[in-house]
A = this chain, B = another copy of it.
Amino acid sequence: MSANASERLIEATRELLWERGYVGTSPKAIQQAAGAGQGSMYHHFAGKPALALAAIRRTAEELRAAAETELGGTGPAYTRIEAYLLRERDVLRGCPVGRLTMDPDVMADAELRAPVDETLDWLRGRLAEILQEGLDSGEFSPSLDARETAAAIVATAQGGYVLARAAGSPAAFDTAVRGLLALLSPRTAH
């Protein structure tokens, strides 16, 4: 029961951080959503910041694992990047990691910001590796810089969420991603 309470508290915090942001997530709301009492919460976690850190770390781990599903494939670089960008996702909720950058309280706390930064940094690095493979095999125009192109890919996805949320429609994400893929496409560049 005790392990379950800890688990429920983390999941409730993830949900509330996503829906309401840090400042809008009260310890009381977390306890209610988790079906856990105040004593249970403070038995498992030092407080809201510790619980938020556990929630953000778990979200970050899930993002890495999900990205690696497509990026860790064996096909050509372009195909793996395309699969990553076009995979099904809950676009209107925003990127569970990226949107934390717009939460003032998360950004103001170096400990809470660290997993956000590390995750986006890992994703850029992973994409840069794959782009470099594609450059080495002649798949892409040799004028491309792997690191800068990787940053543009991550930025397009992150900005795609912004456009989709503004429009209230996932199509805006897809349009931006298709625009980037056309620019990156071996056919266009050669």
Contacts of A51 in B (CB 8 A): none
Contact segment of A7-15, A35-43, A139-147: A139-147
**Complex: A113 Cα to B101 Cα, angstroms:** 20
- Cα–Cα distance between A120 and B173 once the two chains are bound (Å): 13
Tell me, yes or no, whether A148 is within 8 Å of chain B by CB: yes
Q: Which of B145, B158, B176 contacts A179 (CB 8 A)?
A: B145
Residues of B with C-beta under 8 A to A144? 182-183, 188
The answer, among B103, B148, B158, for a CB contact under 8 Å with A159, is B158
In the complex, chain B residues whose CB is within 8 Å of the CB of A141 = 188
The CA-CA distance from A30 to B180 in the complex, in Å, is 41
Which residues of B are found within 8 Å of A120, using beta-carbon distances? 162-163, 166-167
Select one of B21, B107, B175 contacting A151, CB under 8 A.
Answer: B175
With A143-B188, A183-B144, A184-B183 known as contacts, the answer to whether A116 contacts B156 (CB < 8 A) is no
Q: Verify if A98 is at the interface (C-beta below 8 Å from B).
A: yes
Contact A167 B107 (CB under 8 A): no
Chain B proximity mask over A79-100: 1 for CB below 8 Å, otherwise 0: 0000000000000001100110
